[in-house]
Amino acid sequence: MTDLPEQPLPPFPLDQMPVTIEDEMRSSYLAYAMSVIVSRALPDVRDGLKPVHRRILYGMRESGFTADKAYRKAARAVGDVMGKYHPHGDSSIYDAMVRMAQSWSMRVRLIDGQGNFGSVDGDAPAAMRYTEARLARSASFLLDDIDRDTVDFQPNYDESEVEPKVLPASFPNLLVNGASGIAVGMATNIPTHNPGEVIDAALALIENPAMTLDELMTIVPGPDFPTGGIILGRSGIRSAFETGRGSILVRARAEIEEIRKDRRAIVVTEIPYQVNKATLQERIADLVRNKQIEGISDIRDESDRSGMRIVVELKRDATPEVVLNQLYRFTQLQTSFGVNMLALDDGQPRLMGLKDVLEAFIRFREDVILRRARFDLNKIRDRGHLLVGLVLAVANIDAVIALIRAAPDAATARAQLMAREWDAADVVPLLALIHDEGNVVVDGRVRLTDAQARGILDLRLQRLTGLEREKITSELDEVAVRINELLEIIGSHIRRMEVMREELQRARAEIAVPRMTEISDVVGDQTDESLIEPGQMVVTITRDGFIKRTPLDVFRSQNRGGRGRSAAGMRGDDVIVRSFNAHTHQWVLFFSSGGKAYREKVWRLPEASPTAKGRALVNLLPELGSDEITAVLPLPQDEALWENLHLVFATASGNVRRNRLSDFRNIRSSGLIAMKLDEDDRLIGVATCREGQDVFLGTRKARCIRFQITDDTLRVFAGRDSSGVRGIRLGAGDAVNSLCVLGHVDASVEERSAYLRMANAKRRAESALADDAESALSEAEGAESDDAEPVVADEDGEENAPDAALSAERFAEMERLEEILLTVTDGGFGRRSSAYDYRVSGRGGQGITNMTLSSPRRGREVVATLPVLAGEDVMLVTDAGRLIRLPVGQVRVMARQASGVTLFRVDDSERVASVFPVMESEDDEADGGAEGAVDAGAPSADAPESDQGAPNASPGSETE
């Protein structure tokens, strides 16, 4: 087989050259992206409009749908725009038209619609065949002078028409009405602003181009949304105005109103921009249905023509502020508007701040004024050229009439008029002013141009009267003045700025409206605390390190001697070692066995039922390590009280130390060293105190000491690295387990002895008036527990005071200042004693007897000694997890060394582990209810916080 010679390949057409798929995709996608960016999604910084909006406004103007004409069918306007300028679907055109007619979408409406154009509830507008529209009056400020060569035009999609590339806007529409759109790889989201403020800022920038952003923000403080609302904080506004990007927090305007007796409601009158009102209400209903928000009983929409009104009715026991904060957190009553001020500047996407947008508008508007002046100058010069011919004709009217009468036709007459030379003495200055190049003056005479000859032939005979001749001369003078004005505008930047200022002021007078959106300096970011219902909580801590909080009203009051109820579910041999009650919004200081301090809010502690185990403390305090929490101190809610308070520390070995509470204001999450401890020592209690008060220390072996807080006895330590000073000298095997701070009363031994005798007599007299059955019960228990045992001599060496009597005034004063201490043993026995029964001694002594431990059945050790108030309840918790709540008024006041009465019937293997007091609120007492309770250490919401918000006993004694 013979090899065929190779044949050269034919040349490949250039328009069919092969390309790689990557190159083709890249070029095609870039072309598509640029088309979307420039021709669809991004507004132009000059007029603030996208192409579709610009085409709608221009098309309606060309069709005569102006504000001074009647409404026309929206379908007709849409059809004209689609057929001439916008080669897309009618729905996109109609949607854009509808938005420009919605008062809740535009700060200044550009379309005046008649019919159903949707609603803030998200309702769809009626079909375009049912609605009517025309241009709004404010749209004229965007379209005026468009036919005076102020902007460039371009062919439409089929080159059968021309359309403007931009409208000659006379106010900064981009800032006034904002814009939003998503392009390819970029997006824009520009908020609306108050038109009056924006125009004022433009005027100020014209006056002083070197204005700073801070100066501009005094004029334009921030966006102004057509739906009102409240902008929280100014940092997001500042960032948006400076860089073009920022996040603005917008909150609905809501008030708490009393709609009827004992019922309140949250009334919303303004919602954030672009929030659907119907969807918002559905969201609230879903949250209530799913129990994410409690306290709402009903929601209804009472909006009408007078304004918006959404009523969220609350339950009787709901806290309106908490419910409102929950609505802000979980619904669109509070939203974040992400500002992204991206617009086309000279055909290129550019991220601009407030000053950038205003400067771009001013440059554009100056160019519009310059082009308009040049257009008007050409027109006025053409008119001046014709007037020169008319002036020449009127001045030589007889010769002109004779020439026209002798001419056989108009063409001949026109030619003869142009061929003849006319005396130009009167019009030579005007010819120089209008730069007339058609008339050539030679030796004071001039020939007419073709346009002037045609103007003379078209002259009506009535113009030859004396009055009409004067009008022609007067008009020529006006033309001369107007030409001078236009020449000044064209040649002077300052003059152009003056014209711009006048036009902006004219626009402001027409479109300026009051601000609707309030700007608040309050930081809008809600803390989780604002979402928490305020209330009293019982906080329990177990030996194995589990913690939880339980609402206080879960525990109902019982009489003493009851069986109580379960306070916690125990696992294995775990026991409750610490309990206290506190407000949900209080700070709690945790002190570890290693002497470190941690801080946490009560509401951050895990909430659980009374029988739940709780959560491990190590999960809340990861830095705790192998240490255990040995002291817990709820702090006053009002931090202003912290400045005047001190902390007194007590350790098991008997050491004490005093520090300022403000030293523990800032505690990092890893904890803070609170006290330096000696080896084998631990912190047992911390309490707040003031100068002049007394420190009371109680031990397990029923010893106690009381000494006054002064700079001499217990000075304020400057640092936290000290182990303190000796508070009480302990016996073998003893340890401090109670710390209290008592008020100091200056009373002698005689006065204290006399008061105790008189007070006991008064209490016995009051007790005799009690109910017979209760008296019999008290006597029986007293016989069993040595309740009525006589006061024995003080075994610690304090001499019995001689009998003496106090005056009524002194007795009343001491009674008013009297404090009562409750001492409880691990066997469930306890008694109350007057604080006057404990003498004030020096620091560091061995102390005195606190209680007589007469038998193991009544208790081997003292669990706690704590101050209690009249009307207060006390809670006792056992190591088996049982709890009882009983009124302290049922525990008799006895001598300091008495063994006490039965408070809690415990099993043989069960011991009382902790004790803490609870005081009923005034409202509960008025209702006679024992179910609800509030913490004595946390003031109610209706009363100002006071020093009572500070705990005066250590967590070691299980009291607040």
Active-site residue set = 130
Name the residue among 474, 433, 239 with its Cα closest to residue 339: 239
Residue 418 belongs to what H/E stretch? helix 410-419
Length of the chain: 960
Task: Tell me which DSSP letter residue 14 carries.
Answer: G
Neighbours of 518 (CB within 10 A): 15
Beta carbons of 58 and 47 less than 8 angstroms apart: no
Task: Tell me which DSSP letter residue 715 carries.
Answer: P
What's the CA gap between 689 and 736, in Å, rounded? 19
* Token digits of residue 267: 């009334």
What's the CA gap between 690 and 923, in Å, rounded? 31
Half-sphere exposure of 557 (CA within 13 A, CB side): 23
In sequence order, which ranges of 434-522 are alpha helices (DSSP H)? 450-457, 466-491, 493-511
Neighbours of 795 (CB within 10 A): 10
Beta carbons of 77 and 96 less than 8 angstroms apart: no
**CA 477 from chain center: how many Å?**
65
One-letter amino acid at 599 equals R
The SS3 assignment for 943 reads coil
Beta carbons of 179 and 43 less than 8 angstroms apart: yes
Q: State the Cα angle at 131 between 125 and 135, rounded to 5°.
A: 105
Q: Supply the angle between the helices 195-207 and 493-511 in degrees, to the nearest 10.
A: 160
Residues 6+ apart with CB under 8 A from 907: 880
Is 36 buried (19+), middle (13-18) or exposed (0-12) by CB count in 10 A? Answer: middle
The SS3 assignment for 479 reads helix
What's the CA gap between 521 and 624, in Å, rounded? 39
Name the residue among 739, 851, 758, 844 with its Cα closest to residue 801: 758
Name the residue among 237, 235, 172 with its Cα closest to residue 200: 172
Neighbours of 565 (CB within 10 A): 15
Beta carbons of 178 and 191 less than 8 angstroms apart: yes
Q: List the beta strands (DSSP E) in 682-780.
A: 683-689, 694-699, 703-708, 725-726, 736-742
579 DSSP β-pair partners: 540
* Token digits of residue 582: 């506190």
* Token digits of residue 52: 């579709």
- The DSSP-derived string for 121-145 is T-PPPPPTTT-EEEE-GGGHHHHTT
The SS3 assignment for 512 reads coil
Residues 6+ apart with CB under 8 A from 578: 540, 541, 629, 632, 914, 955, 958
Beta carbons of 689 and 741 less than 8 angstroms apart: yes
Name the residue among 295, 343, 322, 488 with its Cα closest to residue 41: 343
Name the residue among 870, 888, 701, 893 with its Cα closest to residue 787: 893
Return left, alpha or beta for 25; rule: phi > 0 is left, psi -120 to 50 is alpha, else beta: alpha
Task: Tell me which DSSP letter residue 934 carries.
Answer: B
